[in-house]
Amino acid sequence: MSKVDFGTGIGIMALSVAVFLIARKMPDAKIGIGPGEYPMVVAGVLFILGLVLSLQNIPWKTNARKTVKDIDGKPISLQMIKRPFFMAIVVFAYIRGMFYLGFLLLTPFFLFFAIWFFGYRRYVRAAAISIITTSVIYVVFYYGFQVLLPRFILF
Amino acid sequence: MGLFLQGFLSIFDPMTFLFVTLAIIGGIIIGAIPGLTSSMGIILLLPMVYKLPPEVSLLVMAGLYCGGMYGGSISAILINTPGAPAASATVLDGHAMTKKGQAGKALSTALIGSFFGGLFSTLCLALIAPQLAKVALKFQAAEYFSLSIFGLTIMAGSSTKNIVKGLISGFFGLLISTVGIDTIVGIERFTFGNPYIMGGFSMLPVLIGVFALSQFFEDAERKKGVGLEIIKQDLSSFMLNSKELKGILPAMLIGAVVGTIIGIIPGTGGAIACFLAYDIVRNLSKKKDQFGTGLIEGVAAPEAANNGTTGGALIPMLTLGIPGDVTTAIMLGGLLLIGVRPGPLLFVERPEVVYSLLSGMFIIQFMMLGLGLAAAKISPKILDIPPMLMMPIVAVFCVVGAYTLGNSLYDVLVAFAFGIIGYFMRKRWYPGAPMVLGVILGPMAEENLNRALVVSRNDWGVLITRPISAAFLIVSLLSVIWAFYSARKKAHVKKTCHK
């Protein structure tokens, strides 16, 4: 029994309804399936699955499962997701920033920060690893695989 | 026989041997880097292929193809990131073995599985290619649709203790695949006016996000690297003993058969084969509940399957001129470029090319075995790098790998978004593999369902009146019912034990 799964089930049902309503407005096909029919079928199945999930995890069900170890996942606390959330923001900023600053300029800073974030405290070594790794990746992809990685916007 | 012998001798020509060796090594490296695929490697090779004799060109492309299929397992096993979609199922048990300190054994199992699968499919290619090509022709739209549903339900039902979560993951993947411009009519679906997502979500960024970036975010939870210590690898038991080899033989055989059959069906590929093989072996195994915890059968089966597709995919390409998957499509382009036209007349007009390939594929498997052993010995050293350093570097590789697909930051943002989704899925034990499979199979399912209905004039009965299609759908339904039944039985047993 899990409140999170109950909520997820409700959320999936809501998403399915939304998808269904949007897909319904798409044109029908005279023959074969129209563009909206396939998503409607998938949304229908998802709705049923969401309903089953919610029913499996109704919060006010009183049974002995409280003593059974919850095998359906780990509880998500705000404390737990604080660090990944922060790292996600950094990664997003890195990806968006690459458009302006380019791969070569931004990646060493990202790497250095991420290495520090993960707990590595040898700063000189971390800086060297960041620069060398960036250079190696750039050379391999640019010259080896002919992939034009993003460049600094002013060049 | 003379042509076979001629073909065998041609690969031992020094320059040919050198080129093929470099191609296999290149394939292994490309396959191991997430975001790069063997099809990309072949594209890069095309200018060189143009300058080589046709027999050598074909062998070089085949070497890269086979090497790339194995290479994907290296990153799947070591860093929980499949190097290629065809190695997605290898992650499930391969990385679990690494966490137990058995990375070397996992890599050698993957190599032996790949060798077995490649050899099996090459034998099929050599002996029964025309007969197998007829099987490929029996697959029409209804069968493709049913195969997609079969693959999805099988995977969803087996990848988690809670089948509802597995199915939710799979159907969510199907829903995601509908985003973008509809391929049948051409209207926008669920784009909300955003021009960037008109192309939908490609499989590779989704794969990178769900498997690799989600792991990165999960590892970010740990403060100051606590819990991110180096896992000591036991490289003394690197090779499998005779008992273990005997134990994985059935799994490899099933994987090889599944891979060869899936390979001959045009438009499928290693990604579908590896999941199917994994699930079939799991369902037939007495150690069903241990799959996902680090079983060598769980590595051997998908690897035999994905390399089994190599020979299988060459069958329709050579005999019918229809490529089996993306890589053989590019190989087909390469052959046309040098004046070789695959098709029914190839065996008659250019037998030396065909037999050179057939005999060469045998030798390539053995070469891959040798080179792969060296790679399997060296690559676990990557795990000596502290995870605090490794994870950020892997994250950068993921970003670059996703970017490589279309030289666009959009794909990187897709990988990032699915990394977030994958992270929350991990927390609540929703398996990522069915979702990825849903994204892969979704377009195939929809297009073929539409095609089947157009051909049958909207008669849905076509899905059950065609025998192969009906068989796939019945097995899908039975597998879902069985999974629900097994889950209820287990829950009941657990409840009884607790009392």
Residue A55 within any structural domain of the chain: yes
Angstrom distance (rounded) from CA B382 to CA B104:
12
**Cα A76 to Cα A93: distance, rounded to the nearest angstrom:** 25
The verdict on residue A128 lying in a domain is: yes
Inform me whether the pLDDT recorded for A62 exceeds 50: no
Is the residue at A107 inside a domain?
A: yes
What's the whole-model pTM score?
0.79
Kindly determine whether residue A107 and residue B175, on different chains, have CB atoms separated by under 8 Å.
no
Convert the pLDDT of each residue in B16-48 to its tens digit: 888 899 899 988 988 887 767 777 777 777 777
pLDDT of residue B497: 59
- Asked if the structure places residue A154 within a domain, the reply is no
User: Pick from B336, B298, B281: which is nearest to B105 by CA?
Assistant: B298
> Which residue in this structure is represented by tokens 């993306």?
B326
B186, burial (CB in 10 Å: exposed 0-12, middle 13-18, buried 19+):
exposed
- Residues of chain B short of pLDDT 50, as ranges, are none
Per-residue pLDDT at A68: 37
Residues B269, B182: Cα–Cα separation, whole Å: 23
Q: Count of H helices and E strands in chain B?
A: 21, 2
Given a contact cutoff of 8 angstroms between Cβ atoms, the answer to whether B327 and B39 are in contact is: yes
User: Is the dihedral angle over the CA atoms B204, B209, B211, B216 positive or is it negative?
Assistant: positive
Determine the Cα–Cα distance for residues A128 and B385; give it in Å rounded to an integer. 15
Q: Which residue of A has its CA nearest to B165?
A: A53
Tally Cβ neighbours within 10 Å of residue B318: 29
| A140 and A82 in a common domain | yes
- Residue B182: name the closest of B447, B436, B451, B438 by CA: B447
HEC sequence for chain A: CCHHHHHHHHHHHHHHHHHHHHHHCCCCCCCCCCCCHHHHHHHHHHHHHHHHHHHHCCCCCCCHHHHCCCCCCCCCCHHHHHHHHHHHHHHHHHHHHHHHHCHHHHHHHHHHHHHHHCCCCCHHHHHHHHHHHHHHHHHHHHHHCCCCCCCCCCC
Q: Is A73 in Cβ contact with B449 (below 8 Å)?
A: no
Whether B382 has its CB under 8 Å from any CB of chain A: the answer is no
CB pairs under 8 A between A and B: 181
Query: In terms of CA atoms, which chain B residue is nearest residue A83?
Result: B221
| A133 contacts B171? CB cut-off 8 A | no
**Among candidates A32, A35, A120 on the partner chain, residue whose Cβ is nearest the Cβ of B225:** A120
Q: Do B216 and A64 touch (CB under 8 A)?
A: no
Give the model's confidence band at A129: pLDDT under 50 very low, under 70 low, under 90 confident, else very high. Answer: very high
pLDDT for residue A64 is more than 50: no
- CA gap B32, B36 in Å, rounded: 8
Residue B255 confidence (pLDDT): 94
Interacting residues of A41 by C-beta distance below 8 A, sequence separation 6+ = none
Tokens, residue B431: 């398996």
User: Residue A115 is nearest to which of B216, B392, B495, comparing CB atoms?
Assistant: B392
CA distance B36 to B87: 13
Q: Are residues A8 and A38 in the same domain?
A: yes
DSSP code per residue over B286-342: TTGGGTTS--SHHHHHHHHHHHHHHHHHHHHHHHHS--SSHHHHHHHHHHHHTT---
- pLDDT higher than 50, residue A69: no
Put simply, the answer to whether B391 touches A118 (Cβ < 8 Å) is yes
Measured distance CA(B273)–CA(B437) in Å, rounded: 11
DSSP structure class, residue B211? I
Give the residue numbers spanning the domain of A31: 3-61
CB contact under 8 A, B428 and A73: yes
On whether residue A54 sits in a domain, the answer given is yes
Percent of chain A whose predicted confidence (pLDDT) is above 90? 49
Q: Cα–Cα distance between B110 and B358 in angstroms, integer?
A: 23
Residue A23's contacts (CB-CB under 8 Å, 6 or more residues apart) are A35, A36, A37, A39, A40, A43, B189
Nearest Cα neighbor of B305 from B325, B332, B289, B331 is B325
Q: How many domains does chain A have?
A: 2
Phi, psi of A135 (to 5 degrees): -65, -45
Report the distance separating Cα B207 and Cα B186, nearest Å.
26
Report the chain A residue with the minimal C-alpha distance to residue B411: A95
A89 and A31 within one domain: no
Asked if B213 has any chain A CB less than 8 Å from its own CB, the reply is: yes
Is residue A18 assigned to a domain? yes
Closest-CA residue of chain A to B413: A95
Q: Is the pLDDT of residue A90 over 90?
A: yes
Tokens 């690969």 label which residue? B11
Confirm whether A150 is domain-assigned.
no
Q: State whether A83 and A139 are in the same domain.
A: yes
- Based on the domain organization, do A94 and A136 belong to the same domain? yes
Give the pLDDT confidence score for residue A67 in this predicted structure: 38
Whether the predicted pLDDT of A72 surpasses 60:
no
A146 inside 8 A of chain B by CB: yes
Partners of residue B180 on adjacent β-strands: B189
Please name the amino acid found at residue B100.
K
What per-residue confidence (pLDDT) applies to B235?
Answer: 61
B66 SS3 class: helix
| B457/A31 Cβ within 8 A | yes
CB < 8 Å from A in window 123-162 of B: 161-162
Same domain flag for A91 and A36: no
Residue of A nearest to B388 (CA): A118
Residues across chain B: 499
Evaluate whether residue A68 is within a structural domain: no
A52 and A17 inside one domain: yes
